[in-house]
Amino acid sequence: MDDELGGKTFVLATDLDGTFLGGSAEDRRTLYDWIEENRDSIGLIFVTGRDPGFIADLCKDGVPWPDYVVGDVGTTIARMRDGMQSPMPELEAEIAAAWDDAGERVRDALRDAPGLTLQSTDFRYRVSYDLDAATFERDAIDRIDALGLDHLISDNRYFDVLPPGISKGPSLKRLVAHLGVPPDRVLAAGDTLNDLSMIECGLPAVVVGGAEQALVDRVAPLRHVHIAEARGAGGIMEAIRVLDLHPALWSDTP
List the CATH number of the domain containing 155: 3.90.1070.10
Q: Is residue 1 part of a domain?
A: no
CA distances, 27 to each of 54, 69, 168 (Å)? 22, 23, 25
Whether residue 172 is found in the same domain as residue 86? yes
Q: Tell me, yes or no, whether 45 and 58 share the same domain.
A: yes
Same domain (yes/no): 20, 82 = yes
pLDDT 10s digits, 31-81: 999 999 999 999 999 999 887 788 888 998 889 999 999 999 899 999 998
**What is the pLDDT at residue 31?**
96
215 with 207: CB under 8 angstroms? Answer: yes
Averaged pLDDT score across all residues of the chain: 92
The count of structural domains within the chain is 2
Structural domain for 207, as ranges: 10-94+166-252
Residue 223 CB neighbours (<10 A): 5
Q: What is the pLDDT of residues 238-254, one digit of tens each?
A: 999 999 998 766 555 54
Verdict on whether the full-model pTM lies above 0.85: yes
CA-CA distances (angstroms) from residue 50 to 117, 203, 239?
18, 22, 24
Identify whether residues 88 and 179 lie together within a single domain: yes
Examine the domain organization and report whether 131 and 223 are in the same domain: no
Instruction: Determine the Cα–Cα distance for residues 124 and 75; give it in Å rounded to an integer.
Output: 8
Measured distance CA(217)–CA(247) in Å, rounded: 30
Has residue 177 been placed in a domain? yes
User: Is 25 part of a structural domain of the chain?
Assistant: yes
Residues pairing with 131 in the sheet: 116
**CATH number of domain containing 204:** 3.40.50.1000
Per-residue pLDDT of 188-204, as tens digits, reads 999 999 899 999 999 99
> What does residue 33 show for φ and ψ, rounded to 5 degrees?
-65, -40
